[in-house]
Amino acid sequence: MLPITNYRDREGRLLSQGAAFGIASKGRVLPESDDGIRSPFQKDRDRIIHASAFRRLQYKTQVFMAPKGDEIRTRLTHTLEVAQLSRSVSDALGLNEDLVEAIALGHDLGHAPFGHTGEAVLDVKLKEIDPSLGFEHARQSLRVVDSLERRERGHGEVLFGLNLTYETRNGIASHSKGLEEMSKLEDMLSPQTLEGQIVRLCDRVAYVNHDLDDAIHAGIIDTTDVPAMTVEALGSFYSQRLDTMVLDIIRSSSAAGEIVMSQPIQEAMDNLMLFLKDRVYVHSEPKREEGKARDLLSRIFDFCMQDVRRMEPYLREHPMTCESDDPAPMLRGNLQSTARIVTDYVASMTDRMALKVATDLVMPHIYV
């Protein structure tokens, strides 16, 4: 026979004092029983992996829209790389790997199609309707796990939202951080656990490295274009840069008691981000396609605002957004509510779903 281990015993043996312990979790909005075998954070991770929003990440742009090669990263592969880096750091520091994995796997569930271009379009559209509104993928990711994700429970029972623990939700909501603070979430402004801090930093480590790697493989830049100071500090090839950054986070965080990088490595990473912004994110050839993506998503949004029946399949699957069988009259009377639902609908799309919806909306249907 093989013994069944209790997660409390496992955490007690393996985790350091600063870790987030499952038994000490602040819990879920809807309390659930504890079976003692799987920790609350393991359950969070499993629910995210089985979510339809997680599967859709496979067909959402990371940086390069409609890449010709199969090796260019998507939003899903980015998510998996963040999870792997976060687990490596967490394991070395004696922190909770289950929690960092749950946060990392859920951190981008709310991303719109076509990467940050889609995020910017939805933000503008909402602000045009009401300046107090806006779209941020971290906020939307929290909305997905709290309210939008469907869970079929059999016998016709459907639940909305994954009912995740506070610690996972906090890490998802507060993960967004660029060269300057990006998150404007009122109730979850910063990570409340060391595990959340790990994902926040490893998200940056992952995307600066794989975006550079993808740009080199796509022929947008050459390895010789990378600034010499960055190469000297971080390394000259992909795995070397990752190794340098991960080991630096582990050593610096161990000494500081919080999740940090040393100043030289932090500055080198920031300089690499600035280089990518200039050569890849803004001025590269593939980025010229973003104008088409902006126009496409804007037209979908406007069409759906004009007639919510265009979202009929989505509304059927999300009846909690409406209080009647016929949502159109109610939604027409509340512009902000309509905009929120249209935003949920558009943000849920993959790139190819957005292309199909745009075609269906614009192209005439031939019935002969």
Residue 178 has a pLDDT of: 42
For residue 67, is pLDDT > 80? no
Per-residue confidence (pLDDT) for residue 325, from 0 to 100: 45
| Size of the chain in residues | 368
Give CA–CA dist 283/30, Å, rounded: 47
Distance, CA of 64 to CA of 212 (rounded, Å):
12
**Do the beta carbons of residue 49 and residue 105 sit within 8 Å?**
yes
pLDDT (0 to 100) of residue 271: 95
Q: What are 93-113's pLDDT values in tens digits?
A: 999 999 999 999 999 999 999
Domain ranges of the chain: 289-362
Q: Is the pLDDT of residue 184 over 50?
A: no
Mean of per-residue pLDDT scores for the chain: 88
Q: Which of 21-25, 44-48, 61-65, 180-184 has the lowest mean pLDDT?
A: 180-184
Helix 194-217 to helix 75-93 angle (10° resolution) is 130
How high is the pLDDT of residue 362? 72
Mean pLDDT of 47-67: 88
User: Whole-angstrom Cα distance, residue 140 to residue 134?
Assistant: 10
Determine the Cα–Cα distance for residues 323 and 327; give it in Å rounded to an integer: 7
Q: Tell me what pLDDT residue 318 has.
A: 80
Residue 330 predicted with pLDDT over 90: no
When pLDDT is averaged across residues 75-98 and rounded to a whole number, the result is: 97
What is residue 219's predicted lDDT score, i.e. its pLDDT?
Answer: 87
Over range 322-348, report the average pLDDT. 72
Instruction: Give dist(CA 304, CA 310) in Å, integer.
Output: 6
Confidence grade of residue 284 (pLDDT, cut at 50, 70, 90): low
Q: Can you give the pTM of this predicted structure?
A: 0.91
Task: Give the mean model confidence (pLDDT) for residues 139-163.
Answer: 90
Model confidence at 231: pLDDT above 60: yes
d(CA 47, CA 65): 28
b/e map 289-323, b = 16+ CB within 10 Å: ebeebbebbeebbebbbeebebbeebbeebeebbe
How would DSSP label each residue in 240-259? HHHHHHHHHHHHHHHHHSSS
Instruction: Give the pLDDT mean for 293-300.
Output: 94
CB neighbour list of residue 274: distance below 8 Å, 6 or more residues apart: 179
pLDDT of residue 280: 87
Give the separation between CA 101 and CA 293, rounded to whole angstroms: 31
Which residues are bridge partners to 181 per DSSP? Answer: 177
Going by pLDDT thresholds of 50, 70 and 90, the confidence category of residue 290 is: confident
d(CA 161, CA 47): 10
